Amino acid sequence: MQRLVIVLFGIAVSAGVTVGGDAPVRTAAILALDADREVRELASIPGYPIINSPEISNDGKWVAVDGWQADQDLRDARVLVVNVESAEVRDLGPGAMPTFSPGGHRLAISRYGNGGERGVWVLNMDGADAVFVKPDGWSGRWSPDGRQIAWTTSHNGNATIEVMDIIEGIRHTVFEGEEATRYARVYWNFCWSPDSKAICFKGRLPNGDDEVAIVDVRGSRHGFKVRLSGATAAQFNPDIAWHPDGSRIAMPKKSQAGEPGQIYEFDPSRDDEPTRLKGQPANRHNGGMCWSPDGRTLVFLSRD
């Protein structure tokens, strides 16, 4: 059996591979960039060369991804969770874009329709007790405070983000007024702010232009700001990671002019252009990321 390699928060749990060292990083790997700008391999999953959407549980013990095999496509994606200490891999069945509940006992996922109806689901860490939450929702994301789950949805050609209060069972859309018809599409892997009061997302306007914006979860009349627009927004993929201290948001920039895709970051409160994240491997395609709960480590995907 191939041995799983894991390095988390700069501490080797099993024999790891240092980027730039003698041993090459696997073609698809989850890497960790710590506060000291040291990059190490976090995890790779035998039999799954294609992995996406890494998420770390709040206790730092589990990493969840979606993945599929080389002869499959994204509709065959399965939810996989890896235990950091034991290297145990659990296959939780069909699904994509997992996010943990704050307690780490449940996950919100999206299913394409194979192995269950298409839409947003919530299930246990062992894959049991799956609950169908939203049939026309996509990219379900659990809020940091654990009280809400948000997803994208579309009605009459207008895309929005819908938020459900888990305790009260109340749902509402965040786009109001002029914003209610602003987007023809809202992309997957949007991100909650660490205080659970706002969401950063990438959306597409009816004219085909892209935007990266931040909206108040109570509704856009309470707060709405376009952070990136036009050609700048189009350069970024919709994988968003908001730092736990709230001061910066990371997004992956697409490869261009023969250069690999790299991770950039920007201050959500300012209007500055995004800047390249320091310390990441400059010769690899990097993206698909999340921050550790303490904010000291950025976990991201990296490919040749």
* Tens-digit pLDDT profile for residues 193-202: 999 999 999 9
Specify the residue for token string 């009459």: 156
Is the pLDDT at 17 greater than 60, yes or no? no
The Cα–Cα gap between 222 and 218 comes to: 7
CB-neighbour burial class of residue 106 (10 A; exposed 0-12, middle 13-18, buried 19+): middle
Cα separation, 106 vs 175, in Å, equals: 28
Nearest in space to 120 (alpha carbons), one of 153, 84, 157, 158: 153
Asked if residue 24 has pLDDT above 70, the reply is: no
- At 103, the amino acid letter reads G
Instruction: Tell me the average pLDDT of the chain.
Output: 88
Condensed to tens digits (0 to 9), the pLDDT of residues 42-66 reads 777 888 888 999 999 998 889 999 9
**Could you tell me the pLDDT band of residue 23, with boundaries at 50, 70 and 90?**
very low
| Percent share of the chain, pLDDT over 70 | 91
Phi and psi at 189, nearest 5°, equal: 55, 40
Dist CA 286 CA 304 (whole Å): 9
| CA atoms of 243 and 265, how far apart (whole Å) | 10
Domain ranges of the chain: 50-135
Region 78-106 average pLDDT: 91
Regarding predicted confidence, which is higher, 71 or 122? 122
pLDDT, residue 28, reads 65
Strand partners, 131: 122
Residue 27 — pLDDT band, cuts 50, 70, 90?
low
**pLDDT of res. 171:** 95
Q: Quick check: 3 pLDDT over 70?
A: no
Nearest CA to 239 out of 270, 261, 259 is that of: 261
Assign 165 a pLDDT band (cuts: 50, 70, 90): very high
**pTM of the predicted model as reported, rounded to 2 decimal places:** 0.89
Helix (H, G, I), strand (E, B) or coil at 131: strand
